[in-house]
Structure 1
Amino acid sequence: MQAIAPLFFGDLSDQIGRRPVYMMTFSIYIGANVGLALQNNYAALMVLGAMQSTGSSATVAIGSAVIGDLTTSADRGRYMAAVQASVQFAPALAPVIGGLLSQYLRWRSTFGFLVILTGLFLLTARKVVGNGSVPPPRMSNSLISARLHRKRAASNTNPESSPRQQTAGPAKLPRKIPIPNIWAAVRIVFEKDVGPLMIFMSLFVMANYAMIFPLQDDVRRRYDFNDVQVGLCFIPFAIGSVLGTLVMGRVLSWHYNRVAKRIGVSPDRRKGDDVRNFPIEKARLDIIWPCLALILAAIASWGWVIDAGTILAAPLVVLFFAGFGLAGLITILLTLMIDLYPMNPGRVSSCFNLTRASYSAVSTAVVLYMIDAWGYDWTYVSMASIVLAASPVIWMVRTRGPKWREERYQRFQSRQQE
């Protein structure tokens, strides 16, 4: 469900707006957590766990789509970094909180904590965002707003006369909810430029999951740690991930402006630049090589460090650099994919979530068998070799990407004319 649900909700958010889909996914997530906290049946736990994954996984894809909606190419890197920092930080922070709750309040408390946290997020986010300056379409109105609208209509008050309603808003959306086109999102994988980038990035996520998945059992067995101490071992990865996204977000914006200045273009931060005539592939991919080298070195050395049985500081340092390199790489590539597909950012994010979740599932399923057969050292050297063999994708997209991008624009234009 973690791989499939974003395909449905991501495309739906492109058609009816982000806010209604956010409300759907949060409702599913809260309901599933309440059920998990009260459940004793194993089959029900599996079903509710799938529902929980359905509600949570879609929000990540929609979050990246929102950044694509609100930002221009010149500033997109910094904002995408903030979103990816939270995405990378959460899986590393979860074992710490989960370990504390399960050790002192038992496992049911983790689901109660998630319900409380989600409720607080909804309240605080609503206070921060407010009503906005553009009137929402009818489908996105809250119950209170809809009731006030009916009262004004009943009292012969023309809602169009208010200054707020005179603001130019989006086109009216259809009253019937359209059926999401999941296949349209899947087809993005077959685009000549976007597809290889997704698969390349998913290979790194696969290797990262292969590093983290056995970590709990390794440190528990080697250092005799309890749940809380095991959870604390994930903090270096979280810190590295946050720093990697924030640093690369700044570097992305800096290098974009540098490339724009080199070709004599002044970035337009209000209307956005015409990416069709801009070397966006070079602006994004020229800075990826340090992150690529860092994460490859971390993956290749991980097995040797674990197998050597060194002091705990050694694997934690490797985790920090792995988090830094992976988060920076994902920030760069995901920002580029939104640049390449600005017409449907929700589909792009959900399609990447499909490839990422699929590769990660394969990784967690086979990594323990690989370790038993080859040992820690050669298992992770082989994973680093697989990712290294796929690295020419970066050069290919950088050099031939503009041609493929122009072909896609022409294809879209011909469809619109038909």
Structure 2
Amino acid sequence: MAAKGFQDTPMVAEAVYNYSVFTKTEKWCIISMVSYAAWFSTLSSFIYFPAVHLLSEDLSVSVDKINLTITSYMAVAMIAPTLVGDAADVLGRRPVYMVTLSLYVVSNIAIASSKSYSALLGLRVLQALAISGTFSIAYGVITDVASPAERGSFVSAVSFAITIAPSIGPILGGSLSYAAGWTWIFWFLSIAAGLCLTIMVLFLPETSRRIVGNGSIRPPKHLRLPVPKLMRHWEASDQVVKQKRRMPNPLKSLTILIRKDNAVIIFGCGLLYVVYTCINASLSVLFIDIYNLNQWQAGIIYLPFGLGGMVSTFFSGPLLDTAYRKARVKRGLSTDKVVGDDLDDFPIEKARLSVIWIPLIVTTASIVAFGWTLHYHHHIAIPLSLQFVAGLCMQLDFSVYNTLLVDKNHRTPAAAQASSNIVRCTFAAITISFLQNLIDAISIGWTFTFMGGLCLVVAALFLVDYQVGTRWRQRSIDSDLRIAT
């Protein structure tokens, strides 16, 4: 078969090519499906929180023991993406989705049917193992089908799915627990995930560029859609292209951290995620104590932060794509969204990070102001408004970062996201363990001032990558090529 040109596939010489043969409508359908799957990775945590006391009473165990199911979930969620990230890069997106979503559905059904604490603890581990890596695969799919010139919009779509969960999760979990009991949290998750699995089995094509290139290469039979001609851009007579296979390597995610340009932004994102997590973890406790809210009202106060994040996803994509296009024009390069760009030679760091500075400054200011308005017990409308601003700007920061990370690691995007997950979850778990002690020791205002200081460190790390990240990345690529030859 005369292969149609595509990028990042060793069997074909690089040339002028269509980055992806999928149509714009097909791309949005694909991204919608993987965003739906990524939604569960965050929702599974936040929908669970309102049921802690009910679980404690129903299973006749202490709240501390129920909290252990949260800790164990987070610990597994930190590691799980490393297991599925590189597997999705090597074996293909479609089979990994089928396995992970199937396990997730089974685990939720089992939790809903169980009546013992030991079963809950063990099945929560299985639940985390199954679903925690879906967000990293989603970013891999984006890299498969979206050229760098249009990638920002698709990253924002996945970010929207992930961001909406912290807002509606506690409300949904509280409503289901109140109306039908805590088991219906898991019946809901099993039904929603079962629907997602069915949609993907029927409609999600294989997109891995290692297997189908830009979508024009015929995949192996087990990776084809059951519906003939649906999203099929190869001829029936085309032969499957044989390629050199390697076994998935869970440690691949750790090797990504060796590169200095990766490490500096991943550690920066880790610190930003610490701030994000600390805000979410302290919201209900602080507002209940300061403003005498009940449990239902405490769930509602998560909305402004989440709504701000959702609003940002509507303009972060166009903002990123416009900045990328301007960077290409400035250097006299093509801005065609259909044609792929050689990111190895392009200073993608400057193109992406050029739009992050103002949002980071506003993030810092809003977080510090949020802390002091709570410290001095100002009217509740003020900290809620500041929450909205912080949520909007922080989500924009994360969208820029996630787009940059997959651009830097466009050959192994899922593994790169998995490596980022390890760092940010580790940082967040450590900080959360002493957050309340920090608030008690130095007060609410100074705690959030400290969080604002972390945001300034993030800005400094991103500035380092802006200045020297391209040079570091290209040296690493040259070194890898010398080793390969």
Tell me, yes or no, whether TM beats 0.5: yes
Contact kept? 2:205, 2:223, Cα under 8 Å: no
Shift of residue 226, structure 1, vs aligned partner: 4.1
Partner of 2:219: 136
* SS in structure 1 of the partner of residue 251 of structure 2: helix
Contact kept? 1:188, 1:194, Cα under 8 Å: yes
2:231 is equivalent to residue 166 of structure 1? no
Partner of 1:21: 96
Shift of residue 294, structure 1, vs aligned partner: 1.6
Partner of 1:87: 162
Shift of residue 331, structure 1, vs aligned partner: 0.7
* SS in structure 1 of the partner of residue 133 of structure 2: helix
CA–CA distance in structure 1, aligned partners of residues 199 and 127 of structure 2: 22
Contact kept? 2:107, 2:123, Cα under 8 Å: yes
Contact kept? 1:67, 1:76, Cα under 8 Å: yes
- After superposition, residues 28-43 of structure 1 pair within 5 angstroms as 28-43=103-118
Moved more, 111-120 or 212-221: 212-221
CA–CA distance in structure 2, aligned partners of residues 34 and 78 of structure 1: 35
After superposition, the C-alpha distances for 1:218-255 in whole angstroms (9 at most, x for unaligned) are 33344444443322221212211122233121111011
CA–CA distance in structure 2, aligned partners of residues 184 and 190 of structure 1: 10
Contact kept? 2:94, 2:204, Cα under 8 Å: no
Letter in 2 for 1:237: F
CA–CA distance in structure 2, aligned partners of residues 232 and 135 of structure 1: 49
* SS in structure 1 of the partner of residue 260 of structure 2: coil
* SS in structure 1 of the partner of residue 335 of structure 2: coil
Shift of residue 165, structure 1, vs aligned partner: 2.7
Shift of residue 128, structure 1, vs aligned partner: 5.0
Contact kept? 1:33, 1:112, Cα under 8 Å: yes
Q: Which runs of 5+ in 2 are unaligned?
A: 1-75, 207-214, 229-233
Shift of residue 298, structure 1, vs aligned partner: 2.2
After superposition, the C-alpha distances for 1:164-186 in whole angstroms (9 at most, x for unaligned) are 43347554575xxx643222211
CA–CA distance in structure 1, aligned partners of residues 168 and 240 of structure 2: 40
Partner of 1:407: 475
Contact kept? 1:103, 1:227, Cα under 8 Å: no
Contact kept? 1:337, 1:348, Cα under 8 Å: yes
Q: Which runs of 5+ in 1 are unaligned?
A: 149-162
CA–CA distance in structure 2, aligned partners of residues 134 and 90 of structure 1: 36
Shift of residue 115, structure 1, vs aligned partner: 0.7
CA–CA distance in structure 2, aligned partners of residues 339 and 127 of structure 1: 29
Shift of residue 270, structure 1, vs aligned partner: 2.6
Contact kept? 2:272, 2:458, Cα under 8 Å: no
Partner of 1:6: 81
2:185 is equivalent to residue 104 of structure 1? no
What RMSD, in angstroms, separates the aligned Cα atoms of the two structures?
2.3
CA–CA distance in structure 1, aligned partners of residues 110 and 378 of structure 2: 43
* SS in structure 2 of the partner of residue 287 of structure 1: coil
CA–CA distance in structure 2, aligned partners of residues 377 and 89 of structure 1: 27
2:460 is equivalent to residue 392 of structure 1? yes
Are residues 118 and 11 of structure 1, via their aligned partners in 2, closer, same or farther at CA, if it must alter by over 3 Å? same
Are residues 345 and 171 of structure 1, via their aligned partners in 2, closer, same or farther at CA, if it must alter by over 3 Å? farther
Are residues 344 and 170 of structure 1, via their aligned partners in 2, closer, same or farther at CA, if it must alter by over 3 Å? farther
- Identity over aligned pairs, percent: 29
In the alignment, which of 275, 288, 293 is matched to residue 356 of structure 2?
A: 288
CA–CA distance in structure 2, aligned partners of residues 285 and 5 of structure 1: 29
Shift of residue 126, structure 1, vs aligned partner: 4.8
TM-score normalised by structure 2 residue count: 0.77
Shift of residue 125, structure 1, vs aligned partner: 4.4
* SS in structure 2 of the partner of residue 65 of structure 1: helix
Contact kept? 1:18, 1:66, Cα under 8 Å: yes
Contact kept? 1:207, 1:363, Cα under 8 Å: no
In the alignment, which of 324, 329, 351 is matched to residue 261 of structure 1?
A: 329
CA–CA distance in structure 2, aligned partners of residues 294 and 168 of structure 1: 54
Shift of residue 76, structure 1, vs aligned partner: 0.7
- After superposition, residues 279-318 of structure 1 pair within 5 angstroms as 279-318=347-386
Partner of 1:158: none
Shift of residue 130, structure 1, vs aligned partner: 6.6
In the alignment, which of 262, 278, 301 is matched to residue 233 of structure 1?
A: 301
CA–CA distance in structure 2, aligned partners of residues 95 and 47 of structure 1: 23
Flag the structure with higher helix content: 1
Partner of 2:190: 115
Q: Does 1 or 2 have the higher relative contact order (CA < 8 Å, sep 6+)?
A: 1
Shift of residue 81, structure 1, vs aligned partner: 0.9
In the alignment, which of 397, 403, 415 is matched to residue 347 of structure 1?
A: 415
2:353 is equivalent to residue 247 of structure 1? no
Letter in 1 for 2:374: I
Contact kept? 1:281, 1:336, Cα under 8 Å: yes
TM-score normalised by structure 1 residue count: 0.89
Partner of 1:367: 435
The total of aligned residue pairs comes to 398
Are residues 169 and 69 of structure 1, via their aligned partners in 2, closer, same or farther at CA, if it must alter by over 3 Å? farther
Shift of residue 100, structure 1, vs aligned partner: 0.9
* SS in structure 2 of the partner of residue 213 of structure 1: helix
Partner of 1:153: none
Contact kept? 1:307, 1:377, Cα under 8 Å: yes
Partner of 2:250: 182
Letter in 1 for 2:81: P
